[in-house]
Structure 1
Amino acid sequence: MTFSVLARDPATGDIGIAVSSCILAVGRAVPGARPGVGVVAVQARSRRGLGATLLDGLAAGGTPSALVRRAAHSAEDADRQIAVLDVTGRIAADTGPGSFPECGHLVGDGFSVQGNMLGSADVLPAMSRTFAAVDGDLPDRLLAALSAGQHAGGDLRGRQSAAILVVSGQPPTDEDDGVRMDLRVDDSGDPVAQLGMLRNLQRAYEERDYDRLALFAPEGARDLYAALAASSRGDREGVRRALEAMRERPGWSAWLRTMAGDTRLAAVSRLLG
């Protein structure tokens, strides 16, 4: 009923999972991750608490292979499908004998793909090949593999939800919770594509791509990003128009006054000077 990819980025040490399924809110059910510990996928008809148990096992020093082997011996989990990745890149997966065909898993160097009730036997090989072949950071590679799986057949029943969860390989601190990306599409006719759009939007926020944000940010904030984009281009008239549009919105004039010390808006003010 689900297909997913787990992986570690050897360059950054980040670890993550991307998953899609024809169920509501797959991001609530399948992926689990703890910064500095590992990532797990718990699919098919696995017990709902198994993900937390596997992460606890990793935190206690267990290896992915030992944890998967122990879960595989549980008689009540014949329909289960699991994958476990630790922060060093060790990974193990298992597909229970009662999982829904087409089903299975493939383990590569620091990553694995797994799925059940798949639309074709090409889904997992396509995901594996794509993840191994594409360049980019970990979220981009995870999403590329997920998209390849969807194009190869995806979930036999159709499409509904998708999620991506990426965390640091280091334990969290007061300054950094270790969560690099946590995006979910709970109900959509094309959840993998929608997840890709959310990833691009997050990238725009992180990279301060104001031109993109002026188009795709929530409507109420687009004029703000249009002003910042115009400021970065030295477009005084563009800044003026955007600020005028912002001041017409109830409450925004007061908000602009409170943001007078913000370095980004200071650049806008200097341009209008």
Structure 2
Amino acid sequence: MTFSLVARCPRTGMFGIAVASSSPAVAARCAHARAGVGAVASQNVTDPRLGPMALDLMAGGMTAAGAVAEIVRQARFVDYRQVLAVDRAGGTAIHSGPNSLGIWTQAQDENVASGGNLLANGDVPQAIVDGFLGATGHLGDRLIAAMRAGLAAGGEAGPIHSAGMKIVDKLDWPIADLRCDWTEDCPIEAVATAWQVYKPQIDAYVQRALDPRAAPSYGVPGDE
């Protein structure tokens, strides 16, 4: 019921994940990222615990491949899970259990990995990877481009209703965590619209957290 990608920007060291699904609030369960460590998608018949587990393993020194292999060794019901990971060196790894739903496939390259289930066709993850590698600009722009490419290649077998994008940089919290938890329209475009609004304000929100004395005004009625 899901297609996604995890990615690293080799220029900035940022990590990001973008995901879409026919299910509600997909990003709340599937999207995991930690600054300086990596990004993980835990999907299909989702176990949200696998994302933090993989990030803890990578924070302890494992590669993405090592972390995913350890999850396969330790976790229960891994035949039902898809887990995608990218690490601080740009290494990627994917586990797709044989009980993944419908048409399920995966694709990966340096700095990016994509997977999906209940897909319209098996070409969607490779289209997502190609879309990411062919895009330019901020990591968020590249994540949106990749998800649009996956949707254009067919996306899910049925309509998607939720999507999300999370980006981490050097801080303990995400610099962007944008979601559309349910819509009858296109949730990827809803997230893309939110990104275009949020992107110019990222630095201001970081500044407000680190030192509000030097922060710009909010630009809303009543703010002077």
TM > 0.5:
yes
For residues 14-71 of structure 1, the C-alpha deviation after alignment (integer angstroms, 9 at most, x for no partner) is 0110110011101101010111221100011142311111111112222211121122
Q: What value does the CA root-mean-square deviation take over the aligned residues? A: 1.9
Say which is worse superposed, 11-20 or 59-68, in terms of deviation.
Answer: 59-68
CA apart distance, 1:120: 1.6
Gaps of 5+ in 2: 205-218
Question: Per residue, is there more strand in 1 or in 2?
Answer: 2
**SS of structure 2 residue aligned to 1:128:** helix
Q: Which amino acid aligns with 1:111?
A: V
**Contact 1:47–1:77 under 8 Å retained in 2:** no
1:184 aligns with 2:173: no
Distance 2:202 2:20 in 1: 25
Q: Which amino acid aligns with 2:32?
A: G
For residues 57-89 of structure 1, the C-alpha deviation after alignment (integer angstroms, 9 at most, x for no partner) is 112222211121122345622111001112221
Distance 2:128 2:85 in 1: 17
1:202 aligns with 2:198: yes
Q: Percent identity?
A: 33
Say which is worse superposed, 68-77 or 58-67, in terms of deviation.
Answer: 68-77
For residues 220-242 of structure 1, the C-alpha deviation after alignment (integer angstroms, 9 at most, x for no partner) is xxxx67xxxxxxxxxxxxxxxxx
Higher relative contact order (CA 8 A, sep 6+): 2
- Counterpart residue number, 2:65: 65
1:132 aligns with 2:128: no
Q: Pairwise mapping of residues 83-122 of structure 1 onto structure 2 (< 5 A)?
A: 83-122=84-123
- Counterpart residue number, 1:262: none
For residues 103-131 of structure 1, the C-alpha deviation after alignment (integer angstroms, 9 at most, x for no partner) is 12111111111111101222112112111
Instruction: Determine which structure has more spread, i.e. the larger CA radius of gyration.
Output: 1
Structure 1-normalised TM-score? 0.71
Structure 2-normalised TM-score? 0.86
Give the total of aligned pairs. Answer: 208
Question: Per residue, is there more helix in 1 or in 2?
Answer: 1
Gaps of 5+ in 1: 209-223, 226-251, 260-273
Structure 1 residue ranges, 4+ long, deviating more than 4 angstroms after superposition? none
Q: Which amino acid aligns with 1:160?
A: H
